[in-house]
Structure 1
Amino acid sequence: KLPATFMVTGLVYDVATGLIETVVPPAPLRSLGA
């Protein structure tokens, strides 16, 4: 199962409320260490 909130490209999607919150500004994958 997915957790109640999970990270998606710098966003947190809360499946309980359907809200999306920006937690970090969008950045290249390289900056994220991917």
Structure 2
Amino acid sequence: MRKRLESICGHTHYEGLTKTILNVASQSLDWQLRQ
């Protein structure tokens, strides 16, 4: 049970990390297009 909980937490953290990276990437792309 505890191991399952850890994997769920890890997955959520990884998902948040991916969203952050995508946000930063799209923002920098927008900035480059505006230049």
Larger proportion of strand: 1
TM-score scaled by length of structure 1: 0.18
Instruction: Indicate the structure (1 or 2) with the bigger Cα radius of gyration.
Output: 2
Larger proportion of helix: 2
